[in-house]
Chains A and B, each alone.
Chain A
Amino acid sequence: MSGAQPGMIGTQPGMSEPLLVLDNVTKNYGAIEALKGISFSIGKGEVVALLGDNGAGKSTLVKIIAGGLEPTSGRMLFEGKEFLAKSPAEAKAAGIETVYQDLSLCTNVDVVANFFMGREITRKFLGVPVLDEPAMEQVVKKALTSAGTRIPSLRTNVEHLSGGQRQAIELNRFVHFGGKLVLLDEPFAALGVEQTRRGLDMIRQVASQGIGVVIITHIMQQAFQVADRIVVIRQGVVAGDVARNKTSPDAVINMITGETLAGAGPAG
């Protein structure tokens, strides 16, 4: 099989229907073309590792899918339907969860408030929605315990927590809320060895529930450990789209640095 033939998009063997299809998505910042036309797809329950050098356009792409940026042209299909999120709220409503590179936590409130940011559990009191703190605390406690994350008190403000603990909150948040597609932008940058291993397990576990996962990483080893498919972006275009078991780290590095032709596929 040779990675990125147009006909192969979203139809890799052993994979169900495509969840998200990107078709020639571009993004210009003034005269600068950050994305020159990206096309690939993600299946349900599939883990796609998005690789590329600094400035290749990975984070831009993630922001476009997550509703933080609007593409200049091109189209996306989500569950077979035309899709364009104008805001993160819309993407979230469609079932797309995102964990960003720079952490998206409010350090001035506690762990529980951050976990439920924007979708607090409430009960009505005289018709007014009131935060149901005990219920939320229960859920967070359960989610963090089952993931093996230890945080001394769920009621401490996040500003008092370590980088690893903060990232753990974000990771557990997406595992809990799930959705249909999860985008992870360098999620393990602040994690230790053991926490990273657990994080990778979490990703597999999430994917096994039929959720699509896109993970951006710089670390080749992580990509090979967790991904079903590896997509390489170079200078704003897809430079390679290959199944993990059909390629090798060296081949992928060549795609990233551009030593093989675009879309040349696996080396073995």
Chain B
Amino acid sequence: MNPRTRHALEFALDNLVWFMLVFVLVVFSIFIPNYFQLGIFANIIEASSVLGVMSIGLALVIITGHMDLSVESVAALGAMAVGILFCSAGIGLGVQLHPEWLMVPVSLLLALIVGGIIGVINGYLVVKVKMSAFIITLASYIWVRGLVLVISGGRSAQDLAPAIRWFGIQRLLGLPLTAWIAISCFVVFSLIMAKTPFGRHLVMIGGNETATFRAGIRVNRNLVIAFVLAGAIAGLAGWLLAIRTSGATANLGVGLLFNAFAAVVIGGVSLKGGVGTLPGVYAGVLLLSAINTAINLMGLPANFTQVIHGMLVLAAVLLDAFKQTIRQRLA
């Protein structure tokens, strides 16, 4: 095989999920009436912002060879914390700050810190107690959701302060600012993963933890940072969720974890760690969102989405195995 075809093939394999996304969009545009509209495409991006942000944190931890099942509950906790403080109806306390815009950084910081704290706990237990991240974050998934129920008493907060909600209403180039926040998160974290020593170290830790330890990389420190980032990013996802629903309910975001997992796997991240890129994850998120939109437009019952998502995850895993075989042939 000459080097050029080989390069082309490797490029195709690395970006397979983008090709799938384009393919799906083209097919839907041709066969589903009214699908091909700028408004629809904007809606696909907009609808995927919360899921997208959450997937970044999950992907970071999976790439280092670990797992964070708590992101969904952490997002709900972040949203509830913001909701209780800055909502004026329901269980909201209606805290007012002057000037009003001050509520934006304060609420955002609150969500990030709440998420970060859960991340510290997860990371510390994984690194120091050396227990499986799967079990520790499964526990967090349960107790953090429980905490949301406890602090809300099962009730909800409504009417988020307009200064914060502004992010979900104000549009730039046809997209609400919340969508731009998600996009910038993908850009920033993609750059961190691809261009900085920290990102490189996370990928290498996912590949061979012993080797990185022997090479003098501070593995434990990096792992804790990854968990804190995942928690803080989940907090950010919660902040976006609160804006989107203009408040918070006790069962906010239930089921998002599985969609995030689906997006990460479809995006080409290997659950074994060390493999995967964030642009791929974003394509996975958009792919899920594009399919949801198609189901809505076709007027299919929403229950179909779950069946299709499940099949997509299965297809993604099979595809991953298939890619492995091709790569081995290439070598």
Contacts and interface: CB of A to CB of B under 8 A. Distances in A.
Contacts of A87: 213, 216
Contacts of A20: none
Nearest to B195: A130
Contacts of B217: 89, 117-118
Chain B interface size, as a band, is 20 to 34
A227 B325 CA distance: 44
B266 interface: no
Contacts of B204: 106, 108-109, 113, 117
B173 interface: no
A218 to B, nearest CB: 22
B200 A129 contact: no
B331 interface: yes
Interface in A156-200: 156, 159-160
Contacts of B207: 106-109
Contacts of A129: 196-197
A161 B213 CA distance: 22
A128 interface: yes
A160 B326 CA distance: 12
B331 A109 contact: no
Interface in B174-232: 195-197, 200-201, 203-204, 206-208, 210-218
Interface in A108-129: 108-109, 113, 117-120, 122, 128-129
A86 interface: no
User: Which one of A100, A118, A131 has the highest number of Cβ atoms from chain B below 10 Å of its Cβ?
Assistant: A118
A124 to B, nearest CB: 11
**B-side interface mostly:** helix
A128 B188 CA distance: 12
B196 A118 contact: no
A104 B197 contact: no
Nearest to A160: B331
B317 interface: no
A157 B214 CA distance: 20
Q: How large is the interface on A (under 10, 10 to 19, 20 to 34, 35 or more residues)?
A: 20 to 34
Contact of B215 (A93, A104, A122, A130): A104
Interface string A77-94: 000000000011101110
Interface in A9-68: 66, 68
Contacts of B203: 106, 108-109
Given A120-B200, A131-B200, A100 B212 contact: no
A131 B211 contact: no
B218 A105 contact: no
A144 B74 CA distance: 48
Nearest to A103: B211
B212 A118 contact: yes
Nearest to B209: A106
Contacts of B206: 108
Contacts of A93: 216
Interface string B43-78: 000000000000000000000000000000000000
Given A113-B200, A120-B200, A130-B196, A88 B216 contact: yes
Interface string A201-225: 0000000000000000000000000
Nearest to A125: B195
Contacts of B218: 89
A98 interface: yes
Nearest to B208: A106
Nearest to B211: A104
A118 B208 contact: no
Nearest to B10: A156
B197 A105 contact: no
Contacts of A106: 203-204, 207-208, 211-212, 274
Interface string A114-156: 0001111010000011110000000000000000000000001
B108 to A, nearest CB: 22
Contacts of A109: 200, 203-204, 207, 274
Interface of B: 195-197, 200-201, 203-204, 206-208, 210-218, 274-275, 327, 330-331
Given A107-B207, A118-B201, 10 more contacts: A89-B216, A100-B214, A103-B211, A104-B210, A104-B211, A105-B208, A108-B208, A118-B215, A131-B195, A131-B200
Lowest 6 A-B CB distances belong to which pairs? A108-B207, A160-B331, A106-B207, A89-B216, A108-B274, A118-B215
7 contacts: A88-B214, A88-B215, A89-B217, A89-B218, A104-B210, A108-B275, A118-B201
